[in-house]
Amino acid sequence: MKLDIAIYRYNPDVDKKPYMKDYQLEIPDGSDMMMLDVLIRLKEQDPSLAFRRSCREGVCGSDGMNMNGKNGLACITPVSTFKGKKLEIRPLPGMPVVRDLIVDLSQFYKQYEKIKPYLINDDKQPAREHLQSPEERAHLDGLYECIMCACCSTACPSFWWNPDKFVGPSGLLHAYRFLIDSRDTATEERLDGLDDAYSVFRCHGIMNCVDVCPKGLNPTKAIGHIKSMLLNRAV
Amino acid sequence: MVTNAASFGRSGVHDFIMLRASAVVLACYTVFLVAFAAFSTPLTYEAWHGLFAALPMKVFTLLALIALLIHAWIGIWQVLTDYVKCVSLRGVLQFVFVVTAFAYLASGILIVWGV
């Protein structure tokens, strides 16, 4: 079976502008493989092809990219997903391209830094650890699993237009993870940092983030909870 | 923190509340008008004139026009801050849209109170 693949190529040192390069790959009939394996085989053909990857099992979040128009992790996206169509692989949209499929995620990390992604607890430190009941711990399910692959934030038009002001779905999922954590005492301070017209309220709930999240998380729901928290203290 | 001096609301939360409150008023007004047009048979000039001559309908229309002004103001501010990155151009466009929305409001008041 022959796979037709078009890959976004751009090396700013050599190319004046980006272009799509066509490749072909022969794989055994009836077989399937992950998109990352396709890229690794293509790199054997063309060593100049650049992309990020690490764990190759959907844990590290390094190989987020846009495959046939939808963001996802190449290592856990089977070729069969695209039902024999030509494969089009592009970098995550809206971010500056460093080279080929590698994007500069500085802005994404700045937003993550902004939400103070660590536990703040001003109470007297316990002798061993902060205890949490199973119910309190259950609030973190669906939040802590985010691997920061940036698939969600780079699928969000609000993040494309205002990456410096809108925290984005991934950052806000993390923000809610700390807002709802029973061990965190900085809830008001965290809400103060989000209480403006852009940080949270640029989310209009179109749910692109939910559609693309490779971990099946729901940032829109978390953002809804943050909006409710902001409303509750304002009304 | 990012400020939003050109928007209608004083903050993101204020904009959020005003958008939804104005949407409720606009939805009620639209549903009422469509229902009136659908169930008032035959829909004559006298029936239409009588509807808008009543004080409650004048107040309801005025409320809908104010809701439209608020909704458009916030909505346009959000769209313009997304798509127009040149601040001076955005300021001019925002000014034009808000003045137009005020003109609609003024026209609406004069028309409705003239019935």
CATH class of B12-113: mainly alpha
Helix, strand, coil percentages, rounded to 5, for chain A? 35, 15, 50
- Please give the average per-residue pLDDT across B23-43, as a whole number: 93
Instruction: Please tell me whether residues A113 and A99 are part of one structural domain.
Output: no
- Whether the per-residue pLDDT at A220 is higher than 90: the answer is yes
Domain containing residue A92: CATH number:
3.10.20.30
Task: In whole angstroms, give the CA distance from residue A20 to residue A100.
Answer: 10
Nearest Cα neighbor of A8 from A50, A64, A54 is A50
**Distant-in-sequence, close-in-space partners of B25: CB < 8 Å, separation ≥ 6:** B63, B64, B67
Nearest Cα neighbor of A43 from A82, A104, A95, A100 is A100
Task: In whole angstroms, give the CA distance from residue A136 to residue A46.
Answer: 51
Across the interface, of B1, B16, B82, the residue whose CB is closest to A227 is B16
Question: Which chain B residues are closer than 8 Å to A234 by Cβ?
Answer: 11, 13-14, 17
- Whether the per-residue pLDDT at B9 is higher than 80: the answer is no
| Total domains present in chain A | 2
* A61: region left, alpha or beta (phi > 0 left; psi from -120 to 50 alpha): left
Across the interface, of A157, A161, A197, the residue whose CB is closest to B4 is A197
Instruction: Please tell me whether residues A56 and A164 are part of one structural domain.
Output: no
Task: In whole angstroms, give the CA distance from residue B50 to residue B106.
Answer: 22
Q: Do A196 and B12 touch (CB under 8 A)?
A: yes
Domain containing residue A164: CATH number:
1.10.1060.10
Q: Do A195 and B2 touch (CB under 8 A)?
A: no
Distance from CA of A24 to the nearest CA of B (A): 39
Instruction: Please tell me whether residues A81 and A170 are part of one structural domain.
Output: no
Q: Do B11 and A197 touch (CB under 8 A)?
A: yes
> How far from chain centre, in Å, is Cα A123?
33
Query: Which tops the pLDDT comparison, A10 or B2?
Result: A10
Domain boundary pick from A42, A71, A103: A103
Phi, psi for residue A15 in degrees, rounded to 5: -90, 140
Nearest CA in chain B to A190: B1
> What are the tokens at A81?
């997903």
Site from A195, A201, A227, A229 to mutate, B interface, most B CB atoms within 10 angstroms? A201
Any chain B CB within 8 A of the CB of A224? no
Instruction: Please tell me whether residues A65 and A175 are part of one structural domain.
Output: no
Instruction: Please tell me whether residues A137 and A46 are part of one structural domain.
Output: no
Instruction: Please tell me whether residues A117 and A223 are part of one structural domain.
Output: yes
Range(s) of the domain holding residue A28: 2-103
Instruction: Please tell me whether residues A170 and A99 are part of one structural domain.
Output: no
Q: pLDDT tens-digit profile of A20-72? A: 999 999 988 888 999 999 999 999 999 999 999 999 999 999 999 999 999 99
Q: What's the N-to-C CA distance of chain B in angstroms?
A: 48
pLDDT of residue B1: 52
Q: Do A199 and B12 touch (CB under 8 A)?
A: yes
Which DSSP state fits A126? P
Q: Do B1 and A234 touch (CB under 8 A)?
A: no
- Whether the per-residue pLDDT at B97 is higher than 60: the answer is yes
Nearest Cα neighbor of A186 from A117, A113, A112 is A117
Q: What's the N-to-C CA distance of chain A in angstroms?
A: 62
Using a 10 angstrom Cβ sphere, with 0-12 exposed, 13-18 middle and 19 or more buried, the burial of residue A223 is buried
Query: Across chain A, where does the E strand assignment appear?
Result: 2-9, 19-26, 64-67, 70-73, 87-90, 97-99, 102-103
Domain boundary pick from A57, A74, A103: A103
Which DSSP state fits A69? T
Instruction: Please tell me whether residues A27 and A115 are part of one structural domain.
Output: no
Q: Do A198 and B12 touch (CB under 8 A)?
A: yes
Q: pLDDT tens-digit profile of A67-115? A: 999 999 999 999 999 988 999 999 999 999 999 999 999 999 999 999 9
Task: In whole angstroms, give the CA distance from residue A99 to residue A2.
Answer: 27
Instruction: Please tell me whether residues A120 and A168 are part of one structural domain.
Output: yes
Contact A230, A203 (CB under 8 A): no
Q: Is the dihedral of CA B32, B34, B38, B41 positive or negative?
A: positive
Contact A143, A217 (CB under 8 A): yes
- Please give the average per-residue pLDDT across A149-160, as a whole number: 97
Question: Which chain A residues are closer than 8 Å to B2 by Cβ?
Answer: 165, 196-199
Domain boundary pick from A68, A103, A138: A103
Contact B68, B74 (CB under 8 A): no
Q: Do B3 and A197 touch (CB under 8 A)?
A: yes
Q: Is the dihedral of CA A40, A42, A47, A50 positive or negative?
A: negative
Instruction: Please tell me whether residues A112 and A210 are part of one structural domain.
Output: yes
What is the share, in percent, of chain A residues with pLDDT greater than 90?
Answer: 91
Nearest CA in chain A to B84: A161
Question: B-side interface with A, Cβ within 8 Å?
Answer: 1-4, 7, 9, 11-17, 78, 81-83
Instruction: Please tell me whether residues A57 and A95 are part of one structural domain.
Output: yes
pTM of the entire predicted model: 0.90
- Whether the per-residue pLDDT at A116 is higher than 80: the answer is yes
DSSP result, B21-75 = HHHHHHHHHHHHHHHHHHHSSS--HHHHHHHHHSHHHHHHHHHHHHHHHHHHHHH
Contact A195, A230 (CB under 8 A): yes
Any chain B CB within 8 A of the CB of A189? no
A34 in helix, strand or coil?
Answer: strand
Instruction: Please tell me whether residues A65 and A164 are part of one structural domain.
Output: no
